[in-house]
């Protein structure tokens, strides 16, 4: 599995309520992304940052999602995003009580 952390600058003085409204509006489109297991929306009011933390089945699925078209769209809205990929071999899921290991 692959975890991807994406960060970008939000417009000045973006408040949590506004960011959350944007997030809720875009959330349904992530239900149809092939290979995406889970997404967390991120917001840091103090630093003026937004973003997401994504868990994908494979790096190929992640890279297909964060392609040049996606980068161009995000860059036009917020400036160049910071995208970091991490191998994810073990997940502790306290909601389900499971420890999941990637094969």
CATH top class, domain 2-101 = alpha beta
Q: Which two tokens stand for residue 22?
A: 């944007």
pLDDT in tens, the chain (103 residues): 999 999 999 999 999 999 999 999 999 999 999 999 999 999 999 999 999 999 999 999 999 999 999 999 999 989 999 999 999 999 999 999 999 998 7
User: How many CB atoms sit inside 10 A of residue 54's CB?
Assistant: 24
Q: Are 16 and 59 in contact (CB under 8 A)?
A: no
This prediction has a pTM of 0.92
The Cα 42–Cα 100 span in angstroms is: 23
Distance CA 84, CA 38 (A): 16
């Amino acid at each position: 599995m692959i975890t991807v952390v994406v960060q970008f600058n939000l417009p000045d003085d973006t408040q949590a309520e506004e960011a959350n409204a944007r997030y809720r509006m875009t959330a349904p489109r992530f239900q149809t992304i092939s290979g995406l297991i889970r997404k967390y929306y991120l917001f840091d009011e103090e630093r003026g940052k937004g973003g997401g933390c994504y868990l994908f089945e494979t790096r190929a699925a992640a890279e297909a999602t964060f392609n040049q078209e996606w980068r161009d769209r995000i860059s036009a809205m917020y400036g160049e995003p910071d995208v970091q990929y991490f191998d994810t071999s073990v997940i502790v899921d306290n909601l389900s009580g499971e420890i999941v290991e990637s094969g």
